[in-house]
């Protein structure tokens, strides 16, 4: 009866309304995702938070091809016989479509996001004390969790760091992107031109994009000079007069020259990274300066690893329903109760680089009455630290009261009332 009266209260907080809405209808994972990603088509496409920059990139690719096809093509079609001129004009248009498809595959897919844990793992050192229940409020040196762990990779010891935002030990070569707010497997860099992180699942397409764009720029650059040469021969004029007769050719020559230096230099740099099996992040931080790279298998095997290996499946199913099964896999709740990740996002967000958002104790008590949350304990599984192990951390809701500054007494009293 008390629960019914509480549900009919006219004043409800934002967190309470979210709980009631979640109980009434399930949501999909992308709707409650904590990262800064943008989702389209019902979670089928995932972009970075700076997806708008993708429009500028598309314009920088499409506009020069349109200018080439509109202002340069007519003379080339007339100069070359046997439909060769039409083929010369058609090639950059087809190539442009190919580049846009590769760009779409780079920016519109999961780059290799590692799922977050809902609770910090317990310390694996048997000599240490148990993890303090107010660990989340004291993310300092007093925590019993070591900041790094040693992992064996190809017979060499590699240190992996603990991520305070995702509350897990990152897999080898994984890093947290501050822009997308996700841990990304084999993190290379965040590219603003494609509006997405570059990681294990889209690095191949990123390299294909920059290399294809380089070839497209060189193609237009070369045939603009061919057009200039044809005008100089036809009118018996110098280079300056030829530029005046076809100013768009001059514009495209300057534009593609600058663009080719940019994307061409990027292509050459990534050829070096691929041949030595490095990432941009590792190279810029001199990760293997004076050290042996444990991932370097020789240039032939390194290239084969990037282009001939199978792209791993995504760790996340963004269209999955946030239902009872999902809740039970992320929190120790009684059967029949659902803990929406939206609630976790509203009240349990713990970011190392941002201020911790607390929820008042009385609001938290009201939430517990409405969803009937009972005390539960769950043992966090100790991970087996191998190169391709299971990196997910089982949650422990024991620390939930301390996150909100609650005492166990309040929960005990509620259990007595409910009984």
Residues β-bridged to residue 215: none
Q: Identify the three-state secondary structure at position 181.
A: coil
Which residues are registered as beta bridge partners of 368? none
* Identified catalytic residue from 191, 197, 217, 224: 191
Q: Give the residue from 111, 308, 261 showing the smallest Cα distance to 197.
A: 111
Cα(124)–Cα(33) distance, integer angstroms: 29
Using the CB atoms, write b or e for 243-262: b if 16+ within 10 Å.
bebbeebbebbebbeebbee
Q: Are 161 and 208 in contact (CB under 8 A)?
A: no
Cα 185 versus chain centre, distance: 9
Integer Cα distance of 373 and 376 in angstroms: 9
> Which tokens in the block code for residue 141?
């040196």
Helix and strand numbers (H, E) in the chain are: 15, 12
Rounded Cα–Cα distance for residues 45 and 196 (Å): 12
Q: Distance from CA of residue 342 to its chain's centroid?
A: 19
308 is known as an active-site residue = no
The residues annotated as belonging to the active site are 191
């Amino acid at each position: 009866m008390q629960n019914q009266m509480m549900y009919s209260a006219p004043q409800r907080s934002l967190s309470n309304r979210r709980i009631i809405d979640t109980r009434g209808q399930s949501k999909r994972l992308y709707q409650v995702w904590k990262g800064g990603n943008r989702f389209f088509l019902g979670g089928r496409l995932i972009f970075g938070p700076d997806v708008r920059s993708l429009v500028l990139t598309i314009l920088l690719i499409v506009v020069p091809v349109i200018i080439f096809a509109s202002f340069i093509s007519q003379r080339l079609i007339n100069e070359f016989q046997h439909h060769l001129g039409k083929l010369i004009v058609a090639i950059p248009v087809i190539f442009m479509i190919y580049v846009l498809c590769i760009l779409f595959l780079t920016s519109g897919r999961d780059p290799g996001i590692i799922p977050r844990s809902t609770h910090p793992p317990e310390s694996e050192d048997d000599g240490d004390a148990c993890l303090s229940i107010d660990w989340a409020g004291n993310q300092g040196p007093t925590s019993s969790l070591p900041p790094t762990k040693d992992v064996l990779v190809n017979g060499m010891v590699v240190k992996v760091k603990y991520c305070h935002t995702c509350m897990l030990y990152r897999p080898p070569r994984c890093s947290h992107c501050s822009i997308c707010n996700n841990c990304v497997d084999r993190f290379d860099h965040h590219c603003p031109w494609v509006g997405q992180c570059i990681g294990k699942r889209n690095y191949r397409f990123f390299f294909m994009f920059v290399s294809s764009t380089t070839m497209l720029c060189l193609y237009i650059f070369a045939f603009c000079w061919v057009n200039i040469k044809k005008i100089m021969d036809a009118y018996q004029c110098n280079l300056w007069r030829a530029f005046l007769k076809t100013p768009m050719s001059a514009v495209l020559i300057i534009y593609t020259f600058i663009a080719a230096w940019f994307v061409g230099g990027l292509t050459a740099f990534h050829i070096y990274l691929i041949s030595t099996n490095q990432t941009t992040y590792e190279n810029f931080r001199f990760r293997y300066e004076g050290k042996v790279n444990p991932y370097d298998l020789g240039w032939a095997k390194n290239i084969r690893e990037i282009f001939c290996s199978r792209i791993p499946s995504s760790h996340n199913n963004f269209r999955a329903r946030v239902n009872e099964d999902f809740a039970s896999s992320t929190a120790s709740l009684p059967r029949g109760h659902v803990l929406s990740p939206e609630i976790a996002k509203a009240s349990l967000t713990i970011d190392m680089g941002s201020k911790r958002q607390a929820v008042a104790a009385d609001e938290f008590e009201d939430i517990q009455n409405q969803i009937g949350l009972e005390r539960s304990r769950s043992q966090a599984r100790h991970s087996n630290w191998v190169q391709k192990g299971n990196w997910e951390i089982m949650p422990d809701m024991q620390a939930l009261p301390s996150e909100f500054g609650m005492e166990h007494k309040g929960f005990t009293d509620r259990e007595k009332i409910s009984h």
